[in-house]
Amino acid sequence: MMKKILYSFLLAVIALSGCNKALETDSTRVVGEKNMWNTVEDARAGIMGVYALTRSALSDNNGHWIYGDVRTGEFTSPKRQDLKAIISNNLNASYPVVESLSDWTRFYAIVNGANVFLENVAHVKATDKRYSDNNMTVDIAQARFLRAFAYFYMVRIWGDVPFIISSNEGVFENKPRESQAKILAWVESEILRAAADLPYIYSGGDIQQPSNYYNEDRTRWGGALATKVTAYAVLAHVAAWTADYSNVAKYAKFVEDNYGKSGGGFTSSQDLSNSNGFFYNKNFRQMFGFNSDYGHIDGSSTGHIEELTLAEPITTKAIPDIYLPKDSILKYFNWPNDERFAVDTLGQSKYDRYFTNLNGKYPIFSKIKVIQGGTTDPNFRYFTSALIFTRLEDIVLLRAEALSVLGDQEGAANELLNVLLRRTVAGSSFSFNLNDDILKMIFEERHRELMGEGQRWYDLIRYNKIRQNDAKFMNLINSGGIYWPISRKLLLQNNLLTQNPYWR
Amino acid sequence: MRYLWACLVFFAAFTLNVLPIFAAGKKLHKGLTINYLIFQDTTKIKFVPLKDSLRKDSLKQISQKTVYNKLSGGVQKDTKDLSLFPAISLQQNLKGNFAGLYVQEPSGEPGTIQNMFLRGAPMPLLSKKDVYASQPLVVLDGVPLIGEHPFAFDIQQYDFNRIGPATNLLTGIDMNNIASIEVLSDPASTAVYGPRGVNGVILLKTKAPDGVSRSISFNSYIGMAQKPVVNTINGKYENEFRQRFYDIYTTNGRYSDDEAYPVYLSDSLNNVYSGKSNWTDLYYKNALVYGINLGLTGGSDRANFRFSLGNTKSSGVADDTGLDRYSAMFNINMKPVKWLLFSAMINGNRLNRDRNRTLRDRFAQINYFPDLSAPLAPNKDYYASYLNSYSKGFDDNKTNSIQGFAKLVATFGKFNISSSFNVDYNEGYRDIFYARTLLQGNSYASNYYGFNQRLMMENKASYDLKLKEVHDFHFELGQSMIWDIYKYNYAYAYKGANDYIKINLLDSKPKNDDGSDNPNYLVPTAFPRELTYRFLDKTADNLLSFYGKVNYSYNDKYFLSGILRADGSSNAQPTKRWFYSPTVSAAWNIKNELLKDEKFIDDLVLRASAGRMGRAFTFDNYAQGPQYSASVGYTGNLTVPGYNAIGVLTRPYSFGWVGYGVPWSYSDQLNIGADVAMLKNRLHVAVDFYTKAEKNQLLGIPSYAEYGYKQSIESGLDMSNTGVDLTISALVIAKSKFSWNSSLNLNHNSNKLTALPRGLNEIIIGNRFLKVGEPVDQYWLLENEGIYTANSQVPVVNGQPLKYNGTPLKAGDPKWKDQNGDNIIDERDKVLKGHSLPVLAGGFDNSFRYGSWTLNTNLYFNLGRKIINEEMANRFDFVNHEGNTDVSSVKEITFWEKRGDYSKYPLYNPWSTVIPYRTDQDLFLENGSFLKLRSVSVGYDFGNFLKRKNIKVNKIYVYGSVNNVFVITKYTGQDPELVGYDGIDTGYGQPIPRTYTLGVKMEL
């Protein structure tokens, strides 16, 4: 019997040493610092994380479209009180969505994600031989690009924002807001620097990215990652925002000359609005976009413009969150042969790619309607459309705008026609004369072409800055009312911040 | 406080006047002290001969208990009375019966989660995670039970229910198997349980075989839960309610040109909404409750057992809810040799739960909101069609749980070694299929399987030493290792092929017929692969502990005890893995020392204990320090798997920043108490003053937004709970024919925030405001002072009208008090008001006996507690709760029930962008104090009758009871108990029904 006791004591001793080990378990839910940045998979997870954070920041509460399309006041919201407040430019209204959209935390997550990546990726290089120099160069360029893009996006919404380009981990310090101009100058140089290293195409035999990127083929990456062309397209937008139109023309020209190398191209009217067309999953024409690939189980009922715009008869939802009233539709779509949308002499839709149910109570803006796997099933509001920041048509029109501002109306008209001819029935002809307001026509075309892609608000600002003839809007620009208020939560957290004066 | 004084005065008057009259002369009724003796369990000793048997061991336990109870103020209760209440959960049994133990019952739906707080909540309850971390430890025969882990909330947009069956695990305890319940709340008694017991310990002791008698026990009851009487309303009524606002604030019946008035209200001829509102016929029903438990005890001195089987059903009165429990329990004790005792127990339960059919819970579960422009109709015929389409699917919730231990105790004279292995394992399944008719043509299937498992090895060695007959020493060394694992697999899918395939079948062939790999292996077959979501999560939490304990008593007058512990947790950071904590306790038996000859006082013990206890973290994330996770979702789509179908790792921006050097949290507790027995043991008073200082707790401080983080999780939140537990029991009348026992237990608790991380003085977290020096359970509200009926009434300073967060106030907006006078209403104008947890709570029991008849009553009360009536706020804020496809617009069938008084509230402009009917104002703050008659029971004991007839039955007790008889409260909503942990009445609580039962307790 004593033997048994002895054994059980021995067992206990063994168990105890095992116990100590049990305390040292690694979490199965999160990855600790020591287990990160060691392998090429960590680098991949890191850089894809920055993309994922960007998509989340733009999709959260449908922000990209609320900032870009809803705020202009052109759409009407029948029942969502928060959207009504935004439409009437009452951004101090205390609705959760409005409050959340004035919070920039999710954009700084992109910045921090990129900072952490940039500071640690060298460790992967040091520990994993599979991680090539080229792979690291390209990854760093993407991280730099996305970080700069996040700043560009933020200054368009809030004006001056704190400028932080290191992770400062463990010693996070609050920073005051930095002037928008300084940040934009940095953004431009940073994107240029990134553009130098970015390839035209991934896994496509580009000199700057010769092998298969992370062992996936080119179709996997087409439209999903930032290319050199993407960088120049965003540069064109940055330059336009700063009214540096000679650079807009320059950067846009680069895109026009090189989009082919990225597999890009123009999109037909039909493809633009097909539920399995341009916005479906991902493709090379998505110059800078974030896909929600159906096959990747990446769709969702929110974070897509369809959530705001679609309703009966496209989906089983009684009233859309936003709609464009019939009068406005007829005003904007004034070309008779516009394949996107046009009415016949009886007031019926001749082409209804953009709008359904024109004569109903709520005309439905149905340009983008990627339901499930590109179907027309009205019953399940599960959307997979890609969030598109820019595409070739946008850049061509941006170049038209630049040329027009710079005085080259003929060049501008040519660029405009480049888009317009693709949107009208084959054989349509346009003739411009010198008295025509080409610039206005360009912005009108931008409005039509890019409707529902989060561009309109910034177009309006640029247009009014050029024209300076809308007193109300000029007042908004001059008093900083074009920006969003800074969330009161943020002001409480960081006492170096100041509220935008317009919203005090 | 007034109530408290009233109670005290009443009680004092009673005891002083009535007691002495009956105390004098008359002989004491035997056995009456059983239930109310706090530290003397003498009755059990009586018939036990001192010989080599199992009984000796229990005897020893009893004698030790006495010493130990002089150090601690644990209140022990026999379960005989508790089991008269037709409870399905342990919490219901405990509610109102133990001073200091507060039980929340947010819904009368059987089997739903109920929260317990012992001596106040140890941390600010900011989310359900905090509630999980605040629960006391329940120990069943030495097996510390494991609870659910809140990690599943990480993938949930809404935390109404945890995914899975969400069944209250403490419904797996059949009170008929429990011999005694003891609530340990002071450090003297909880220290040995270590960090798992830092929130207090509830000890359950099962009915163990005593080795003498072979007996059969039979306990059963059957009864009915009575459906409530409610007032219903229909579309016409709601339309009229809303029209009053339109009359005031619109000229043509529309607030704006593009406004869409809900169709279901505008058509007054529509019988679906404006006809008969008789949905209650289908929703509320009288429900059956029953319980049956059969116990067998047998064996001899050296080997004996108890076996029991039971089935309990508790049906809810609303929405066809209910819980079925099947339980089996087996205890065995063996003594193969003189010095060795082997004992084991297994308690197995199966819980089947029928859940409610609320839309909110279903939409939150499926993570999709259909078009909500037409709510459920109040008409029975139309509501029936909804129920019918519901019944085409299923929602099965099953939980299996098993607890057990195997224990070896070896005794060599004064030397004692015990080693035990404890297991608690419970697994939950939830299988759902919602047919297509329920969701605009889309079916939904979901399967959940999760388990919580605790394995525990425990070894103890003790040595007793007695010197010179007066010095008693007890030395003890203990070691334990606890391995906890929590895991779940969860998947859901939309749009099945049809309504006949109700489960998400997967292709189960790993290889094709020709031997090649099947590319579709494990791909769903009946549901689209692209609409199938799968999740799994697992976390471990290991705890290694050592402790040493010395007890010393001198001549039964002085008692001293000290415990020193070392606990190592896998959830602590590697550099701070171990936590060392001492506890000392002392007691002084004044009776034995000074009052030996005092006849008036039978016993008087003064005790004190102080100690420190570690509090282990619930999440293993904290152990990692700075970390990476794969949570890159956004509002409405939290579970984004990655980017471009590639897994990602980023800093945990939504979880928050965690740095290095996070120390253990701990609790410094002090308890000073006294136990008095007076008037020939007829009056017992136990009073305990306590203070619990919770230190170094983690708090997510909203900060580092410019680094992407939602919050920074930092250590340093300190708070304290201070209060008094009072238990008085009195045998008011004790005649041979008639007796009256009365007992009162109450707890007065006040909490205070004593420090915040970084030395902050105050902090805003969401809609909560924490301020050092203030209680943490307060609401943070604007003070409402009426309404501006004209624009001219709005104060103007320097040409600027009073603004709410930048929006000028207008006619029809509320008059909120500008506390700081800066002409802006914002968060700085909110004040801390009211408490969500009661300041004073307790129970008042009376039992009367006349011959063989007994009558028991049980009153339960909460005082000093406030409730936010959110349900009412939502009804007035109809503008923001209409027609959207999100959670705010969900209207349950109970929308058609009139609750509360609508006339109390001003008619604000509901379209105003300042949201006049917001819940963060004191307009909806109500007094939530109440007094409830929880049960009245009448019983007859056939014992004497049978004895006379010479029938060999030990006991037959037949009883009838009425439970939840009435509530006295000023609260205007539903039952003031039906409130969440945050004090908000969402209206989702199902009524706690009045229940009538008839029962019998038999021992053969």
pLDDT digit string, tens, across residues B140-179: 998 999 999 999 998 898 989 999 999 999 998 988 889 8
- How many Cβ atoms from other residues are within 10 Å of residue B939's Cβ? 20
The two structure tokens encoding residue B730: 């009195």
Give chain B positions within 8 Å (CB) of A503. Answer: 806
d(CA B144, CA B131) in angstroms, rounded, equals 18
The two structure tokens encoding residue B221: 């009851």
CB B152 within 8 A of CB B164: yes
Residue B72 confidence class, pLDDT cut points 50, 70, 90 = low
Q: With CB atoms and an 8 Å threshold, state whether B373 touches A318.
A: yes
pLDDT tens-place string over residues A269-313: 999 999 989 999 999 999 999 999 998 988 999 999 999 999 989
Where helices occur in B250-312 by DSSP H, the ranges are 263-266, 271-274, 280-283
Q: With CB atoms and an 8 Å threshold, state whether A45 touches B914.
A: no
Mean pLDDT, chain B, integer: 86
How far does the CA of residue B302 sit from the closest CA of chain A (Å)?
19
DSSP state of B99: T
Residue B446 has pLDDT above 80, yes or no: yes
d(CA B549, CA B551) in angstroms, rounded, equals 7
Least CB-CB distance to A48: which of B370, B544, B646? B646
Least CB-CB distance to A301: which of B368, B532, B633? B368
Kindly provide the ipTM of the predicted complex, given to two decimals.
Answer: 0.92
Chain B interface, best mutation among A105, A119, A282, A492, by max B CB count within 10 A: A105
Identity of the amino acid at A260:
G
pLDDT tens-place string over residues A21-56: 778 888 888 898 889 999 999 999 999 999 999 999
DSSP state of A238: H
Find all residues with CB under 8 Å of A66, minimum gap 6, and list them: A83, A86, A97, A101, A308
Identity of the amino acid at B601:
I
**Secondary-structure percent of chain B, ordered helix, strand, coil, rounded to 5:** 20, 45, 35
Q: With CB atoms and an 8 Å threshold, state whether A81 touches B880.
A: yes
A443-452, B437-446, B901-910, B949-958: which has the minimum mean pLDDT? B949-958
How far does the CA of residue A359 sit from the closest CA of chain B (Å)?
16
CB B189 within 8 A of CB B72: yes
Residue B477 has pLDDT above 90, yes or no: yes
CB A227 within 8 A of CB A197: no
Identity of the amino acid at B126:
L
Pairing of strands B578-589, B558-569: antiparallel
- In chain A, % of residues over pLDDT 70: 96
The two structure tokens encoding residue B699: 């708090």
How far does the CA of residue B337 sit from the closest CA of chain A (Å)?
10
Residue B13 has pLDDT above 60, yes or no: no
How far does the CA of residue A401 sit from the closest CA of chain B (Å)?
34
Q: With CB atoms and an 8 Å threshold, state whether A48 touches B642.
A: yes
Chain A interface, best mutation among B706, B823, B824, by max A CB count within 10 A: B706
Classify each residue of A13-35 as buried b or exposed e, where b means 16 or more C-beta atoms within 10 Å of its C-beta: eeebeebeebbebebebbbbeeb
CB A394 within 8 A of CB A288: no
The two structure tokens encoding residue B291: 């319980």
Give chain B positions within 8 Å (CB) of A78. Answer: 258-260
Q: With CB atoms and an 8 Å threshold, state whether B645 touches A90.
A: no
Find all residues with CB under 8 Å of B296, minimum gap 6, and list them: B215, B216, B306, B307, B308
pLDDT tens-place string over residues B547-606: 999 988 888 788 888 999 999 999 999 899 999 999 998 888 888 888 888 888 888 888
- Mean of pLDDT values over B399-419: 92
Dmax over CA atoms of chain B, in Å, equals 98
Least CB-CB distance to A60: which of B634, B642, B807? B634
Q: With CB atoms and an 8 Å threshold, state whether A380 touches B441.
A: yes
Residues in chain B: 1004
DSSP SS3 for B591: helix
Q: With CB atoms and an 8 Å threshold, state whether A105 touches B653.
A: yes
Is the full-model pTM beyond 0.95? no
Give chain B positions within 8 Å (CB) of A283. Answer: none
Residue B507 has pLDDT above 70, yes or no: yes
pLDDT tens-place string over residues A349-367: 889 999 999 998 899 999 9
Residue B490 confidence class, pLDDT cut points 50, 70, 90 = very high
Q: With CB atoms and an 8 Å threshold, state whether B260 touches A12.
A: no
Q: With CB atoms and an 8 Å threshold, state whether B708 touches A32.
A: no
Give chain B positions within 8 Å (CB) of A498. Answer: none
Range ranked top by mean pLDDT from A175-184, B433-442, B672-681, B951-960: A175-184
CB-defined contacts A:B, below 8 A: 301
Least CB-CB distance to A19: which of B533, B538, B544? B544
Give chain B positions within 8 Å (CB) of A373. Answer: 528, 530
d(CA B434, CA B442) in angstroms, rounded, equals 8
CB B783 within 8 A of CB B819: yes
Identity of the amino acid at B106:
P
CB B81 within 8 A of CB B999: no
Give chain A positions within 8 Å (CB) of B627. Answer: 27, 30-33
- Cis peptide bond prior to A313, omega within 30° of 0: yes
Least CB-CB distance to B635: which of A61, A92, A294? A61
pLDDT score at B679: 83
pLDDT tens-place string over residues A378-417: 999 999 999 999 999 999 999 999 999 999 999 999 999 9
pLDDT score at B38: 31
Residue B28 has pLDDT above 80, yes or no: no
Give chain B positions within 8 Å (CB) of A290. Answer: 643
pLDDT score at A318: 87
Q: With CB atoms and an 8 Å threshold, state whether B441 touches A45.
A: no
Residue A459 confidence class, pLDDT cut points 50, 70, 90 = very high
d(CA B884, CA A79) in angstroms, rounded, equals 7
In chain A, the residue whose alpha carbon lies closest to the alpha carbon of B889 is A80
How far does the CA of residue A403 sit from the closest CA of chain B (Å)?
37
Least CB-CB distance to B705: which of A77, A282, A493? A493
Q: Which domains does chain A have, with CATH numbers?
A: 229-291+388-467 (1.25.40.390), 292-385 (no CATH)
Chain A interface, best mutation among B372, B650, B703, B804, by max A CB count within 10 A: B650
DSSP SS3 for B829: helix
Q: With CB atoms and an 8 Å threshold, state whether A25 touches B649.
A: no
- In chain A, % of residues over pLDDT 90: 78
pLDDT score at B897: 93
The two structure tokens encoding residue A73: 């006041």
